[in-house]
Amino acid sequence: MRTKVKIFNMKKILPSLFIIFLFINILNAQNEQMRYEKTAEDVLRWHELTERARTSTPPTTPVVSIAEFEPCQGVLIAYSYSGFGIPNTLISQLADMVTVTVAVSSSYQQNSVRNQLQNAGINMDNVNFVVGSVDSYWTRDFGPWFILDGNDEFGVADFTYNRPTRPNDDAHMAIMANFLGVNHFDFPIIHTGGNYMSDGYGTAASTDLVMEENEDLTEAQIRQYCFDYLGIDNYHFTIDPQGDYIAHIDCWGKFLAPDKILIAQLPVGASRYQEYEDVANYFANATTPWGNKYKVYRVFEPGSMVSNARTPYTNSLILNDHVFVPVTGTTYDNDAIEVYRNAMPGYTIVPIMEKTSTPWENTDALHCRTHEIPDQQMLRITHYPTLGAQPYAPEFTISANFKVLSQQSLITDSVRIYYRTIRNDDTTAWTSTAMTLAGGEQWTGEISGITDTCEVQYYLFAKDQSGRREFYPYIGEPDPFIFTVSPNTNSGDTTDVPGEDTTINSISFCEQNMLIAPNPANTQFSISTPNAQKVTIFNTLGQVIFSRQLDCEETTIECSSWPAGTYFVHLTNREGQTLRKKITIIR
């Protein structure tokens, strides 16, 4: 019996084999790209970033880098070839609060994703799509850095993304700027969003990865670029306590407010324990833009050091009055949630369980895969609060800037200070007092009726014709500003109180002829008075910020570099008698 032997036609088979081989290589390449860390190919192609670097004229000054915890209108997420990096439960909660913008690579993919979200019960009225190819779902790393420039216009500072193998991600900031209709600025720094956090007051923090990846620039040049494009004049470059492959600050730290920071904590005896303590101590001793020291909160993140746990708790998302915290079902989850509740009273803290197909990792979780979009019509309040121990005064002047970006009017009688006092076990009810326009966008008001030592708690409130209502601090009453007032040593004779228009020694040596003008002031002011020998000016923390011997009856003081707020002017004559006045600096 003859056996038939089938002869394969290699000319027909080779094209199919080539397609299969190409498909396998594409999958391998995608799997390589979906590694969060810098890959071997990234290292080989690093030179492309220098070639890809772009620059443009910086924004009009002054520039503000918008903080994560400022008012937001939306969140940016991405749908990559592996789908979303976050669970539908999170997308659903985000869409119930704000607009969720989904980055997709094509109109075809947009239709597919729309159907997927509809089937999951997502509120599609609050979902929109931006079409532009993406390489990954890490929108935190490649997403836009939002700034507000000196023309009160929003913009995007577009850095060169530090992943040369993800050119589509790198191009996405320009796509988002166009999608949102905001200005676009090419920012000549290699960077990544996971290694950047700012506070809205000109302070930012990153690990020293920034300097390593911009080795062709000096530290001074990096700082200058960040000031020009982001308005950052106080940039903290820290060690990376993890000593890890990623070196992103959001893997272990997070600004919760301008004077609050959350730092991860390791078990005592862990190999990197001291590095974490060092960076926590660094911030505990650093001065905030408000002049006080940071309140450092610690969250226990043993991670792989304890039974390979995944504890990425600092990698959370602050969205208006909610905080979404990644959890993985470990015994440490509840303690982490409690840390957030203690650090951010009044906020709704929401634990988010990971997605099985794309689980949270110790260095890659919820924050890495989302990016807030600020409210472009926000009612933005900036205020340098009165904090800490204050010398006795019967009243305290409070000033703040209210910037209305909705192009609607501020409702003037809504601009108020809410305050209460606590003395021993006696807590007064919250009361309010109106603030008045001092000039430009600056408003002032008085906390009054202080008769003796006490604790004062206060917050600000305003609303505009667009319907926006804002408290400051953002959450208002649950987490107010607090300062303490020293005892009134002259409570029996109020003429001796060293408040405005009084002398510390109860002698008004030149009060009738003393003049400070203009008051409020912006760049400079003059003091006119006879007989005074010395002027000393204190901020609300009691720090001397100016002192000069006087040799004439009028002196002009330059104040353009001083933060907006209230200052105390002490004038002393040859007999040691001191007159105390207040001046308000506005911006």
Query: Which of 116, 323, 374, 281 has its CA nearest to residue 314?
Result: 323
Q: What is the pLDDT of residues 362-377, one digit of tens each?
A: 999 999 999 999 999 9
Tell me the domains of the chain and their CATH numbers.
41-376 (3.75.10.10), 380-485 (2.60.40.10), 498-585 (2.60.40.1930)
Residue 30 has pLDDT above 70, yes or no: no
pLDDT reported for residue 17: 47
Burial class from Cβ neighbours inside 10 Å (0-12, 13-18, 19+) for residue 197 reads buried
pLDDT reported for residue 276: 97
Q: What is the pLDDT of residues 179-221, one digit of tens each?
A: 999 999 999 999 999 999 999 999 999 999 999 999 999 999 9
| 433: β partners | 417
Rounded to 5°, the CA angle 237-190-99 comes to 90
CA atoms within 13 Å, Cβ hemisphere of 137: 20
Cross-sheet strand order for the sheet of 234-238: 197-198, 203-207, 234-238
Q: Against a cut of 0.85, is the pTM above it?
A: no
User: Given pLDDT bands bounded at 50, 70 and 90, which one contains residue 512?
Assistant: very low
Q: How far is CA 247 from CA 44, 103, 364, 531, in A?
A: 19, 26, 11, 60
Amino acid letter for position 496 = D
The larger pLDDT score, comparing residue 51 to residue 113, is at 113
Catalytic (active site) residue 368 = yes
Query: Which of 240, 267, 235 has its CA nearest to residue 252?
Result: 240
pLDDT reported for residue 275: 97
- Percent of the chain residues past pLDDT 90, beyond the cut: 70
Under 8 Å CB-to-CB from 278, ≥6 apart: which residues? 239, 241
Where are the extended beta strands (E) located within 199-338?
Answer: 203-207, 234-238, 253-257, 260-265, 295-300, 317-319, 322-327
pLDDT reported for residue 102: 98
Residue 572 has pLDDT above 70, yes or no: yes
Q: How far is CA 4 from CA 1, 7, 10, 11, in A?
A: 10, 9, 18, 21
Residue 16 has pLDDT above 60, yes or no: no
User: Given pLDDT bands bounded at 50, 70 and 90, which one contains residue 332?
Assistant: very high
Q: How many residues does the chain have?
A: 587
The larger pLDDT score, comparing residue 350 to residue 488, is at 350
pLDDT reported for residue 39: 84
User: Given pLDDT bands bounded at 50, 70 and 90, which one contains residue 304?
Assistant: confident
Residue 62 has pLDDT above 50, yes or no: yes
pLDDT reported for residue 34: 55
In eight-state DSSP terms, residue 464 is B
Q: How far is CA 393 from CA 453, 485, 568, in A?
A: 10, 8, 11
For the segment 235-244, the average pLDDT, to the nearest whole number, is: 94
pLDDT reported for residue 280: 98
Of the candidates 226, 368, 454, 559, the residue annotated as catalytic is 368
pLDDT reported for residue 209: 97
How does 129-159 read in b/e, with b if 16+ C-beta sit within 10 Å?
Answer: bbebbbbbbbbbbbbbbbbbbeeeebbbbbb
Residue 145 has pLDDT above 50, yes or no: yes
pLDDT reported for residue 578: 72
Query: Which of 523, 548, 521 has its CA nearest to residue 536?
Result: 548
Residue 522 has pLDDT above 90, yes or no: no
pLDDT reported for residue 9: 53
CA 88 to chain centre: 26
For the segment 404-408, the average pLDDT, to the nearest whole number, is: 96
- Tokens standing for residue 119: 């089937």
